[in-house]
Structure 1
């Protein structure tokens, strides 16, 4: 019952996004504003907060990827909404989307998790899907964000727009990379990217990833990249 209520709340939240949310009032002027010109109310951005629940993702000491992705994703959701974009977030707490299990009956928790994320994107008819993750490397010297894309034009454009903003934040010159093996990139219909927001194994990146202001800066950079992409297509 609790899982059903969670999904119902998410779907209801997505519908509120389209109407401007509680307390929304239509502008008195007939002239279209910036948000109308961009078509915000017709293009939903779905934020996929990586991992969750039993799936902690990668880690460094007691720092877990699932907690960092949720913190950044929540801030990204608020950034997009404050800029007038329709946005939905697939989890608002520490639980795994596989716990909802509405679309795939399988013994594999991992497959149920991926299928739930994919089918939610299709059900909400998302125009853009951004999956937030944290990277890891054996060498602590390896750092910086990298955005993975499906090998098609729109996904590449979205990835490039986000990567450029994150490069500016981190002072890096990383190029976007194809993410051919990844389920979400292959299965979701909408342009989809995976944002590896930094390396948990890097002291330099952890300084951004683990503090509220750093997370806010990362979320703002991703949001700016999404906005730049939506203004181009």
Structure 2
């Protein structure tokens, strides 16, 4: 579940060493490039939504890693902004704010400038007091390319989970407001729903979710190009 951020704007920052690739000539550093930046939501001290010992951050990372492998194996170069259980706010020393949450989100946004990518796909899971509510939801920006990407991913997830939901515009969400490239937030299911939670924590079904998202991205690329 993604929280909102209505705070300070992001400032420019130099890429961290592990986000850089050295040029073959050995005379400088080159910013990496890829088609898709996969945002694994939450991490570290920020566990996200939870039920008992089941944490959103772990689900997001597990599916993000599977999506990363699938996309790259299918010829769609991709990068992950989080490869382990840590908070991206810990890497942000340039946004002078006492709010860890603000530093986390501004770091995620900043990476879309520092890494040359075409799309941002942010992975999360939903939670609500209504435990009967289930299913995926894709949130998009107001621009047409983001909406198209959301419709493609939503359709693929609907077929994977046998649902019939429509994507929605996510106006309040910081990443969708502040990232320039086509971006979506993929709420992959409800951690608060027992059936969805079983799906979200099963490695084989996580792969099915990742495969559906990858299928949606491929469909978007086929239409957009």
TM-score normalised over the length of structure 1: 0.83
Residue matched to 2:4: none
Q: Verify the 8 A CA contact 2:34 2:79 in the aligned structure 1.
A: no
Q: 1:114-133 counterparts in 2 under 5 A?
A: 114-133=105-124
Structure 2 gap segments, 5+ residues each: 1-14, 24-32
- Distance in 2, matches of 1:58 and 1:178, equals 21
- Distance in 1, matches of 2:186 and 2:173, equals 12
Greater helix content:
1
Q: Verify the 8 A CA contact 1:10 1:90 in the aligned structure 2.
A: no
1:90-133 deviations in Å (ceiling 9; x for gaps):
01000011110144221111111011000101111220000000
Structure 1 gap segments, 5+ residues each: 1-5, 16-41
- Distance in 2, matches of 1:107 and 1:197, equals 31
Equivalent in 8, 33, 39 of residue 17 of structure 2 = 8
Change (3 A) 1:100 1:43: closer
Give, in angstroms, the shift of residue 9 of structure 1: 2.9
**Which one scores higher on RCO, CA 8 angstroms, separation ≥ 6?**
2
Give, in angstroms, the shift of residue 84 of structure 1: 1.0
Equivalent in 106, 113, 118 of residue 104 of structure 2 = 113
Equivalent in 182, 191, 211 of residue 200 of structure 1 = 191
- Distance in 2, matches of 1:103 and 1:191, equals 25
